[in-house]
Amino acid sequence: MNPGLTHPPKIHNFNAGPSILPASVFAEASAAILNFNNSGLSILEIGHRTPEFTSVMEEARSLVKEIMELDNDHEVLFLHGGATTQFMQVPMNLLDAKETAAYTDTGVWGTKAIREAKLFGKVDVVCTSKDKNYNYIPKDFAVPNDAKYLHITTNNTIYGTQWQSIPHTSNILVADMSSDIFSRPLNFNEFGLIYAGAQKNLGPAGTTLVIINKNITGKIKRNIPPIMDYQNHIRENSMLNTPPVFAVFVCMLTLRWLKKEGGIPEMEKRNLAKAELLYNEIDRNPLFTGTAATEDRSRMNASFVMQHPEMEKSFLSFASERGIYGIKGHRSVGGFRASMYNALPMQSVETLVQCMQAFENEVRNK
Ligand SMILES: *Cc1c(COP(=O)(O)O)cnc(C)c1O
């Protein structure tokens, strides 16, 4: 027998997104493509208004509510269009042309959100870390009281920075949580609106989770195209048009897994342990340097470069020979980025750390 089949080479997937999901979710999702709930039908061919699918949508929405401990003012939607569509849909729904919204500029995604908000109203960029290629989170800044809302990107996927504490504000708080949702406990009810593309820490690409306090909708004068109006999606229980059926189904499977594993507190425990192991090695190993300010380091995405950039190519192939996949850094930072989402096992981080140590020994013995 081919030993490759009995012991398949394990791939350690550090992709930034789309990214790793629990192995059990892949297995259940595959089975449902062939035969969904013993119906003899594929999940891909059932109608979205059938009881079979509406129960999937309802379970997904109620698991989000339960896992995040949301109150009854907060509604859960699974929409189309990625986080990028939310860059526009948020100001379209919340910001009148004469009003001002406050935005924090902590990276590429925040910058894009700012650009889109300017199409709908006034934007006050209350802080930026652009001066240091976004390698830190700004600390001292003021938000005008009359700003309609404050927008933050809780985790900056590209630069590997993360807000360690959420700014307290009297304004409505809006957050792009695409790359750290479900990774740490927060008081989610403090937020007026949270959005996250599913493909980082929740499910496959193709759906966007939107959590919205229904009391902040319907307050502006603009005419909103019906498909863009949050109120319509709330009223139709996230079924205004055909939802991304399969993507929502896989999110539901991941949410079931998350709950079974112990919910957000357990995820945080694992994520802290993984991040600590990797950052300790980055700090200890003389060949590597972290790029983000230590106090702002992300638990989800660790960015690091090599002391001798000419070695980066050979480290990358050294790592890929050991089954390490997806660690090439984003072009705007260079070097490496290891994404450690909820589903990434500790064993993968251990393998990466051992690989960094083995590379150090090899360089030393040359
Ligand atoms: C990936 C990402 C986005 C873009 O998401 P899309 O679903 O591709 O539109 C936006 N914000 C953050 C923080 C991200 O990590």
pLDDT in tens, 165-176: 999 899 999 999
CA distance 148 to 324: 45
**Cα 352 vs. chain centroid, distance in angstroms?**
22
What's the rounded mean pLDDT across residues 204-209?
A: 98
Secondary structure class of 149 (helix, strand, coil): strand
Q: How much is the pLDDT for 6?
A: 36
Catalytic residues: 109, 176, 200
Q: What percent of the chain has pLDDT over 70?
A: 98
In this structure, the residue with its CA closest to atom 13 of ligand 1 is 178
Q: What is the pLDDT of residue 68?
A: 98
Strand-pairing partners, residue 173, are 150
What's the pLDDT band for 1 if we cut at 50, 70, 90? very low
Tokens for 147? 């700003």
Pocket lining for ligand 1, CB < 6 angstroms: 17, 82-84, 109, 153, 157, 176, 178-179, 197, 200
Ligand 1 centre distance from Cα of residue 9 (Å): 30
Residue ranges, CATH 3.40.640.10, the chain: 24-260
| Residue 350 to residues 227, 238, 355, Cα–Cα distance (Å) | 46, 40, 8
Q: Could you tell me the pLDDT band of residue 366, with boundaries at 50, 70 and 90? A: confident
Characterize the bridge pairing of strands 172-176 and 301-306: unpaired
Across 327-349, average pLDDT: 96
Does position 197 have pLDDT exceeding 60, yes or no? yes
pLDDT at 352 over 70: yes
In testing the pocket of ligand 1, which one of 108, 178, 194, 339 has its CB within 8 Å of the most ligand atoms?
Answer: 178
What's the CATH code, domain 263-365?
3.90.1150.10
What's the rounded mean pLDDT across residues 218-241? 97
- Which of the residue ranges 95-99, 110-114, 255-259, 331-335 would you say has the lowest mean pLDDT? 331-335
The DSSP result for 62-128, as a single string, is HHHHHHTT--TTEEEEEESSHHHHHHHHHHHHH--TT-EEEEEE-SHHHHHHHHHHTTTSEEEEEEE
In which residue ranges of the chain is CATH 3.90.1150.10 found?
263-365
Look over the chain and give the mean of its residue pLDDT values, rounded to a whole number. Answer: 96
pLDDT band at 7 (very low <50, low <70, confident <90, very high): very low
The model's confidence at residue 10, banded by pLDDT at 50, 70 and 90, is confident
95: Cβ contacts below 8 Å, ≥ 6 apart: 101, 117, 120, 121, 148, 149, 220
Q: What is the arithmetic mean of pLDDT over 211-220?
A: 97
Which position has the token pair 């192991």? 277
Pocket test for ligand 1, best of 78, 103, 105, 109 (most atoms within 8 A of CB): 109
Instruction: Report if pTM > 0.85.
Output: yes
d(CA 194, CA 362) in angstroms, rounded, equals: 46
For 32-84, the pLDDT digits (tens) are 999 999 999 999 999 999 999 999 999 999 999 999 999 999 999 999 999 99
Q: Which fold has domain 24-260?
A: Aspartate Aminotransferase; domain 2 (3.40.640)
Would you state the structure tokens that stand for residue 258, as one six-digit string?
Answer: 């998350």
pLDDT band with cut points at 50, 70 and 90 for residue 3: very low
Judged against a pLDDT cut of 60, whether residue 2 lies above it is answered with no
